[in-house]
Amino acid sequence: MELALDAKLGAIPAPAISKRLRSRKPSMSMAMKLAYRNLFHDRMSFFVTIVGIVFSVVLVAIQSGIYLGSQDKISAIIDAAPADLWVVPLGTKSYDDPSFLSGRERHVILSTPGVENSEDMVVAFASWRKPRGGTNTILLIGTAGDSPKALPWNIVEGSRAALDAPDTVAIDQSYFPDLGIDKLGQHAEINGASVELAAVTKRIRSFTTLPFVFTSLDEARRLTGAEQDQAAYQRVSLVSGADLEHVRAEIAQRLPDTEVLTQDEFRKRSQNYWLFQTGAGAALIAGALLGLIVGIVIVAQTLYASTKDHINEFATLRALGAGAGYIVKVILMQAVLSGFIGYVLGIALALAAIRAAQDTKLTVIMTPELAGGLFAVTIGMCVLAAISAIIKVVRIDPAVVFSR
């Protein structure tokens, strides 16, 4: 701060300075220069401030990214196999809370006016026995291979057609360690029946610890002991122009022991169950808020300390005619400049961490909306933190400069 005052005010006689400051308001460029020099005058304080902001940005970005990633993981299967309507067993909490329908639902649905098609989907828990011993619980998913919505997707080794052969399955490469296999052609057991790995996917992970294992519809029924017509869910497609709510009500009336949900309703039900009813979402939100609070406290303490250390210089500016608004502007510029630098460094570190986690079981997502919101939150956090310093400044008595 002393450097700033010397550079702009030291070479001009005090009466001339006072007259100049009273005759016109100091320029914006002058305020910015004062804010810049005051911010960088104490390198250690500046470093602590930036570290605090970067920590806050990274923590909030990662926690928010995990929250968005969790939403996507929870609804990944629903999004990959969209339908106009889903017919599910009564009381289903989420997609991965499966139970079997009675088996007559598909025929009833197909006879409903406005329905174009209804596809069976088998989803069930099963026991996976590793080739070298040990077991793991899996979520077995079976769909018809001739369906345009056949699962899985994002296959990097093998093919979906390979799953039409008997005793074949597909898993994601991130689950190799959990399931004890690591290449095509290896064998394991599902519920005591031998299966062969025929396809490998990438980045298809469940929100829970249960690995997804994909197979054909018939194979899924055989492995789980389901009847020939049984399925966990029915994916209903409507004819063009059909009234969705009318068809939905008709199906619900014909199948009173089921629930008929839209794509969005089933998606949100699954997400709300895992994120809020289980408390997982609350933990992620709490972590993001903690990072925000830590950042505000660190920035507030640093700005307050900086203002207190330079209180005499601020008093000198007040005595020379600078208004309280001008001093407040300088402090706010310090806060915004700190926030901008901290955000740039923090978002760069967050993006690096997100990229490093792409092929792990942890799904972290960064969207343009999240990045923009995070920038606004960071600047707002720094402006909020500057309030303590502003309160100190506006209470300065200009007369203290004459008592030094």
DSSP string, 11-43: TS-HHHHHHHHHHSPPPHHHHHHHHHHHHHHSH
User: By the 8 A CB rule, do 214 and 128 touch?
Assistant: no
Same domain, 56 and 21: yes
Same domain, 100 and 232: yes
| pLDDT tens sequence across 191-215 | 999 999 999 999 898 888 889 999 9
Same domain, 221 and 290: no
Residue 348 counted as domain residue: yes
Same domain, 121 and 234: yes
| pLDDT tens sequence across 224-253 | 999 988 999 999 999 998 999 999 999 999
What 3-state class would DSSP assign to 313? helix
What's phi and psi for 259, nearest 5 deg? -120, 140
| pLDDT tens sequence across 103-156 | 999 999 999 999 999 999 999 999 999 998 899 999 999 999 888 889 999 999
CA distance 393 to 404: 18
Residue 51 is part of which domain span? Answer: 2-72+280-403
pLDDT above 80 for 264: yes
Same domain, 235 and 284: no
Residue 81 counted as domain residue: no
* pLDDT for the residue 307: 65
Residue among 374, 379, 394 at smallest CA distance from 332: 379
* pLDDT for the residue 245: 95
pLDDT confidence band for 327 (50 / 70 / 90): confident
pLDDT above 90 for 319: no
Residue 268 counted as domain residue: no
| Residue range 336-342: mean pLDDT, rounded | 87
Number of domains in the chain: 2
CA distance 230 to 241: 29
Check residues 282 and 404 and name the one with the higher pLDDT: 282
pTM for this prediction:
0.77
Same domain, 237 and 101: yes
Residue 271 counted as domain residue: no
pLDDT confidence band for 9 (50 / 70 / 90): very low
Same domain, 49 and 156: no
Residue 176 counted as domain residue: yes
CA distance 166 to 138: 19
Residue 80 counted as domain residue: no
User: By the 8 A CB rule, do 180 and 135 touch?
Assistant: no
Residue among 378, 344, 295, 369 at smallest CA distance from 67: 369
* pLDDT for the residue 3: 37
Same domain, 60 and 101: no
Residue 128 counted as domain residue: yes
Same domain, 246 and 386: no
Last residue of a domain, one of 256, 271, 306: 256
Same domain, 239 and 322: no
pLDDT above 70 for 401: no
Same domain, 13 and 107: no
Residue 264 counted as domain residue: no
Same domain, 57 and 157: no
Residues paired with 85 in a beta bridge:
236, 262
| Residue range 166-178: mean pLDDT, rounded | 94
Q: What residues contact 158, with CB distance under 8 A and at least 6 apart? A: 170, 184, 197, 198, 199, 200
Last residue of a domain, one of 219, 240, 256: 256
Last residue of a domain, one of 210, 240, 256: 256
